[in-house]
């Protein structure tokens, strides 16, 4: 019995369908394989940018404390940014989420400053910048902080930068804001171990 010959047009259609099926499979596989790499790269860039930003904020606050005047820095916040008030131990804090991280979780890692986050001597870095990662709902929450420690000058004399929150102290949702830092006042206080010289730096979001 004779078998009907398949036309050239039919063969081309079958070939095209097979090729498209293979291409869809390859593209899907590449997407599923490449997506975690893209996310990881995006998260790394986000963390690096946040670290650079917090270091720059610290440097500008120290500059204002030492020489007076005013500094302004544009922020594009990837998450939440706030000034946490605690008497003379205020902290500038930044939080955002990432899908993955190479940072060890549950520990504060010092990026700027020494191992002693509360005290040092004059000549040491006055500002401390830290970062930590904590698991949160299948992702990770990154927290960066900038704060200032007590510096001893000997003879019962101590110095410290005191952040003063003024006006708006909380921003979020990836909008552009300015953080403004300006010298506010110089205050001497008696403490049990001697005299504390405070340099007040006003900080606000605009």
DSSP string, 85-120: --TT--EEEEEEEES--SSPBTS-EEEES-S-SSEE
pTM: 0.79
67 class by beta-carbon count within 10 Å (0-12 exposed, 13-18 middle, 19+ buried): exposed
According to the model, what pLDDT value does residue 32 have? 41
Nearest to 191 by CA among 157, 164, 162: 157
Query: Taking the domains of the chain in order of start, what are their residue ranges?
Result: 10-205
According to the model, what pLDDT value does residue 8 have? 53
According to the model, what pLDDT value does residue 4 have? 52
Sheet holding 139-148, edge to edge: 109-112, 127-136, 139-148, 91-98, 80-84, 170-172
**Is residue 45 within 8 Å of residue 96, measured between CB atoms?**
no
Q: What are phi and psi of 101, to 5 degrees?
A: -155, 150
According to the model, what pLDDT value does residue 149 have? 94
According to the model, what pLDDT value does residue 136 have? 87
How confident is the prediction along the chain (206 residues), in pLDDT tens digits per residue?
Answer: 545 555 555 666 556 666 666 665 544 544 444 444 445 677 888 899 999 999 999 999 999 999 999 999 988 777 899 999 899 899 999 999 998 777 778 889 999 997 788 899 999 999 999 999 999 888 899 999 999 999 999 889 999 999 998 888 888 876 678 889 998 789 999 999 999 999 999 999 88
53 alpha carbon, distance to own chain's centre: 7
According to the model, what pLDDT value does residue 105 have? 81
**Is residue 141 within 8 Å of residue 133, measured between CB atoms?**
yes
According to the model, what pLDDT value does residue 26 have? 47
Tokens of 148: 């200032």
According to the model, what pLDDT value does residue 27 have? 47
**Is residue 70 within 8 Å of residue 204, measured between CB atoms?**
no
């Amino acid at each position: 019995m004779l078998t009907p010959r398949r036309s050239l047009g039919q063969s081309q259609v079958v070939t095209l369908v097979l090729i498209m099926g293979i291409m869809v499979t390859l593209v899907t596989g590449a997407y599923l394989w490449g997506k975690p790499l893209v996310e990881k790269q995006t998260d790394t860039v986000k963390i690096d940018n946040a670290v650079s930003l917090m270091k720059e904020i610290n440097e500008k606050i120290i500059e204002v404390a030492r020489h007076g005047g005013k500094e302004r820095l544009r922020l594009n916040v990837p998450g939440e940014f706030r000034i946490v008030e605690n008497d003379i131990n205020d902290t500038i804090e930044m939080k955002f989420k990432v899908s993955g991280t190479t940072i060890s979780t549950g520990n504060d890692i010092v990026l700027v400053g020494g191992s002693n986050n509360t005290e040092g001597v004059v000549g040491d870095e006055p500002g401390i910048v830290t970062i930590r990662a904590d698991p949160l709902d299948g992702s990770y929450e990154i927290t960066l902080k900038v704060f200032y420690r007590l510096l001893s000058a000997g003879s019962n004399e101590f110095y410290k930068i005191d952040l003063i929150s003024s006006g708006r102290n909380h921003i979020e949702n990836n909008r552009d804001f300015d953080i403004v830092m300006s010298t506010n006042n110089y205050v001497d206080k008696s403490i049990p171990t001697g005299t504390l010289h405070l340099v007040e730096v006003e900080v606000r979001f605009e």
